[in-house]
Every structure is written in C-alpha cells, then in structure tokens.
Amino acid sequence: MNEDLKISKKKPSYPISSKLDAYLTHYRRNINLPIYYDDLLRFQGSIVVYDKNDEDTLWVRVYYNDFERDEIDLSLKRVYSSLVSDGGEGILKYLNVDAIDFCTFGNSKPFRIKVRNILNDNYTYFYVKKADASRVYGLELEHMLSPHNLNFLVCKETLIEEHIAGIPGDEFIKNMLPDCSPSEKSQIAKEFVKFNERCMIRLLGDMRSYNYVFVPIHDFDHVVFRIRAIDFDQQSYEGNLKIYRPQFFKENFKMVELVRAKIQKESIDQYKIEERSIVAKRMISYKNRLRRLLECMENDEISIQKHINMIKEEIFNYTHDVNFKKSKNMGEILKYALDFVKRNYEDVGLNRF
C-alpha cells in the first residue's frame, strides 16, 4: 500500500491571477504590506539552526546590516499586527522580533519570524513566503472544507501565513506513537482514515508525515489527537491520484499499519462516509464563497496538461462520472469532485426520510 511516490521536484510557482486577486480583496485576504518577501532575501549571512538533539533542522538563522535591521523589525511587527489584530500600532511597543529563519528546503523557501511579547515572554511564529496560486487555493480550501480556520494575507508576490501549532507528524510517529495507549491508538487510526479521505476529496497532495502535524486536545479525562495539514504547495497539481492519498506514502507506513491493526473494514467505510458528509455540509455552508473560489480556479493555470489528462482519467475510472472526462483544467476537475461528494450526500439525505 505504501510506495515511494514520485512528486514533481520543481513544481512551478504560479502567479496570482487578477480574478484570484479580486477574490482575495473581497474576502479581506489582500492587504498592503510594509515589507515583501524579496526584501528579506537581502540578508548578509546566516548560521545553521539545530534542534535540541543537535540535529540540523534545515533552517538557517539570518542576519542583516545594522542600519536595515531596525526597519525590518518594525515592518515585521506591523505585519504581525495586521495578521492577528486590527493592524493598529498600539501593540508594536510590546513586541520584539527574536529571530528570522530561512529554509531552502521545499518549493516555498519560507522565512519564519519569531515574535515575542516582551511583557510576558509569550511568543509565536508567522511565515513570509513567495505567493503561489496553488498554495493560496490550498489555504482557502483548507479554511472552508477542513475543521480548521486559517489566517493568511497576500500582497502582490508575498504571502503571510500564520503558524499552525502541533507536533510534526514524523516526530510524533517515531517518538510518541509507540507510547500511546491502545484507546489513543484507535482514535489516531480513525483520525488518519478521515484525514486521508479529506485530502483525496479536495485534491491536496504530498501529505508525507512531515507535511502534517498532530494536535493533542484534552477532553475530560483523556487526550484526543487531530491531524492538520501544514503544507499546501501541492494543491491540485499532480496527475497521480495516489499523491492525494496520504496512505500511499512510505513515510506514513506506520500509520497505515496502525489502521490495519485497530480499525475493521466496516468501520473504515463508516469513517469515510462520515468525512464525506462533513465536507459536504461545509460546502453548503460556504456555498457562495466556494463557488467564487472554484470560478477562479477554472480560469487559472495551476498544473500542466500531462497531469490534467492523467488525473481526470484516474478519477473517471474511480467514479464513472463523465464530467471528469470533459474537464479542461484542474479547477473543473476539483469542482466536479466536490460536486460528486455533495451530490451523493444529498441523495442519501433525501432517501433517509
């Protein structure tokens, strides 16, 4: 079931179209920023960032000329205020930019900004990235169709993204999963089935274990775990349907083993239906907003023709829905995939009474 799937190493960065830009403006995702991604590239040097076990994190801490650092720090504090608050400057005097880290791993090459409240030492992170239409579509779809709201801002070619807190999937699977209780493992297996289904429904690819996090939630006398995607570069780009199903990545082998050990096939089918129904309900709740986003996608270029031809053929074989055969781009494919889920939910709902 788990494979060494081939993912495009150099996925192109697709620009924000005028139609998508108008959508972002309408929903207050678009904002004027005091600093851009390219401004942060002017760092003068860097040092490697190691974790608590002295292993390379693939991040480097960058530094700037003294005459630029004050201006950069002030601009980043203003960005933080716009992201989490009303954009006012009243909070700026209580903030300090403790670190600016840069990662060359992956497509987005993000900057990670650590912001600390000097009154109580609480800190958080946000990310500055090169704006990519694929990622923006992925973030918006996650906001609407997953259980988790997302906060981000776009300005021209710069994307500001809030930090998604959680335990990195690869770290959790290696170091924490073995010590979980039997009931916790059953709950985690159920969550992975639902996460797997959700990713496939909305065509979010490349959910290897380091691209999602586990979020522990205390519920009365026990802990439940939720799984959240943290990387959205591979939204509706690849042509292989398996890339949109986390179960097929070798990095998730232990999770698949856990599902096999803890969940019967009948329960797996039940959890898949539950997730499809929840996604369908969210689609109804976000009806107009989702329609406008999909219209943007249908008029946008976010993949290559080879991938489009491949994925629509695979989904047609999976659903036998002729709409996929007629699809011209990834936006149409996703629209018909979501329609298929919603239509099945409504048909079952009508037959229930």
Q: What pLDDT score does 310 carry?
A: 96
Q: What pLDDT score does 251 carry?
A: 96
- CA distance linking residue 218 with residue 85, whole number of Å: 27
Q: Which residues contact 302 (CB under 8 A, 6 or more apart)?
A: 14, 133, 134, 137, 235, 236, 237, 329, 330, 331
Q: What pLDDT score does 346 carry?
A: 76
Q: What is the tens place of the pLDDT at every residue in 58-84?
A: 899 999 998 899 999 999 999 999 999
| Cβ(60)–Cβ(49) below 8 Å | yes
Q: Give the mean pLDDT per block of 10 residues along the chain (353 residues).
A: 67 94 96 95 94 87 93 96 91 96 84 96 96 96 95 95 96 96 97 97 96 94 94 95 97 97 96 95 96 97 96 93 94 96 74 37
Q: Which contacts qualify for 72-75: CB closer than 8 Å, 24 or more apart? A: 72/35, 72/39, 72/40, 72/97, 72/100, 73/97, 74/34, 75/33, 75/34, 75/35, 75/39
Q: Which residues contact 284 (CB under 8 A, 6 or more apart)?
A: 342
Q: What pLDDT score does 215 carry?
A: 97
Domain ranges in the chain are 18-162, 167-351
Q: What pLDDT score does 238 carry?
A: 96
DSSP secondary structure code for residue 175 in this structure: H
Q: Taking CA 306 as the corner, what is the angle to CA 302 and CA 308, rounded to the nearest 5 degrees?
A: 50
